[in-house]
Amino acid sequence: MSHTVIRVENLAKKYVLGHQQQILFNHKTFRGAMTDVAKSLAGVLKPRPQKEVERSRDEFWAIKDVSFEINQGDKVGIIGRNGAGKSTLLKILSRITEPTKGTIRINGRVASLLEVGTGFHPELTGRENVFLNGAILGMSRAEIKRKFDEIVDFAEIEKFLDTPVKRYSSGMYVRLAFAVAAHLEPEILIVDEVLAVGDATFQKKCLGKMGEVAEGGRTVLFVSHNMQAIRRLCSQAIYLEKGVTKKVNSVEEAIQRYSAQSSLSAFDVDLDSMRRSDGFGDKARLLRLQLASDTSFSYGEPLELIFTIHCFREISDLALGIGFETLDGNRVLTLDSDHDQPPLQLLEGIHEIHFHLERNPLHPSIYSVGVGVLSNAYLLDYISNVITWEVSSGSTDLVGDRGYGGCRLPVKVLVR
């Protein structure tokens, strides 16, 4: 008879977002001008120490009031759109992140594969990392040695076992990471979208292994945007929507709900209703921010953002920008309209401005977004924490550089 191995009650995770309103865009472009304007205003309105910085703080609940039970041997798919809270939930279950409130009871050893290289030490060899991960799971050296050959055969990296993993390709890295997580006999296996790194043959092999793990009486939690993989592997589903669990009676019902949500407008934010700062928006006002329907907010895939702006008079030198920060307030990406190109010239009226990237460089994570408008070194409108976006790993084979840094961009390489 199966018994409960995971019990979650009223789980919630809150992030406090800090924003430095002066710091948005790069020097000599949007960021530099905004910084200069803010410093000038601060000096005119009220003298203050040079190091003091104006900050606004906003709360973001990644998940809220989540409750469920999972029994031994259950194969559970966690489904939801980007920003639903899936990755946050898995990090809490894996004890990587502490919840803000609520209780979790887990009965059994947990092995997690949430991003490429989780739990690996880059300076250690593949062989050493296998033993390190086994020790972390509480296994004896003898137990690890008994499984070692199976792990190496599955990962197909025998020639590189004694090479530091920092020199591995993304494919080698994820093959070894999955092999370790799946073979070292955890009672609970948690796998995020990281398998998108591998090719189709490897993904099929991993799904087969996860099925074997579950058939052996162990529990599998699987997050994926691949509904066919969810349908094939999982017998139950947890559906998340804006951080809250929604009742579904079957995997198929969860998939249908996900598909219906995904068919809606991908992203549409009413900026005008979110303005928090007085004194902005009298010459030009941000009205709307959208994600173009034929692009996605997934790493490595095309990204097109559409801004709607109202100019109350003709503006001959307008600059528009958007900044992306991690939830602890670190800026990782800035896009501005006057970077290596002249300022915009806009007549009085309402305009649509499109920002297009061939490849979204943001690594899979959750980001806070701020937007602003500038003209001739004067800040016209600024809105912090417009929304929090979860970047998924997508389908590109560019994912998987071991998670170092916030962005990854293509570079031309010459050998001379």
- Asked whether the beta carbons of 319 and 357 are under 8 A apart, the reply is no
Q: Residue holding tokens 């800026």?
A: 331
The letter for the amino acid at 384 is S
Residue 66 bridge partners (DSSP): 11
Beta carbons within 8 Å of 107's beta carbon, 6+ residues apart: 3, 4, 5, 6, 187
Return the exposure string of 341-366: e unless at least 16 CB atoms fall within 10 Å of the residue's CB, then b: eebbebeeeebeeebeeeebbbbbbb
The edge-to-edge listing of strands for the beta sheet with 219-223 is 110-113, 188-191, 219-223, 75-79, 236-241, 244-246
Report d(CA 353, CA 321) in Å as an integer: 11
Beta carbons within 8 Å of 344's beta carbon, 6+ residues apart: 315, 317, 318, 319, 320, 337, 338, 353
| Closest listed residue to residue 181, CA positions, set 116, 93, 102 | 116
Instruction: Say what the pLDDT of residue 49 is.
Output: 44
Q: What torsion do the CA atoms of 334, 340, 342, 343 make, to the nearest 10 degrees?
A: 10
Domain 265-396+404-410 has CATH 2.70.50.60: yes
Q: Which two three-digit tokens encode residue 148?
A: 């070692």
Instruction: Say what the pLDDT of residue 164 is.
Output: 93
Judge residue 412's burial from the number of C-beta atoms within 10 Å of its C-beta, 0-12 exposed, 13-18 middle, 19 or more buried. Answer: exposed
Report d(CA 327, CA 57) in Å as an integer: 11
The letter for the amino acid at 206 is C
pLDDT mean across residues, the chain: 79
- Asked whether the beta carbons of 90 and 221 are under 8 A apart, the reply is yes
CATH 2.70.50.60 domain span(s) along the chain: 265-396+404-410
Report d(CA 286, CA 306) in Å as an integer: 11
| Closest listed residue to residue 201, CA positions, set 171, 222, 176, 177 | 171
Instruction: Say what the pLDDT of residue 308 is.
Output: 94
| Closest listed residue to residue 130, CA positions, set 181, 197, 170 | 181
pTM over 0.85: no
Q: Which helix (H) or strand (E) element contains residue 135?
A: helix 126-136
CATH 3.40.50.300 domain span(s) along the chain: 71-262
- Asked whether the beta carbons of 374 and 311 are under 8 A apart, the reply is no
Given a cut of 50, the residues of the chain with pLDDT beneath it are 20-28, 31, 33-35, 37-54, 263-265, 396-402
Report d(CA 168, CA 275) in Å as an integer: 46
Report d(CA 270, CA 277) in Å as an integer: 16
Q: Which two three-digit tokens encode residue 77?
A: 């798919």
Class for the domain spanning 71-262: alpha beta
Report d(CA 347, CA 251) in Å as an integer: 52
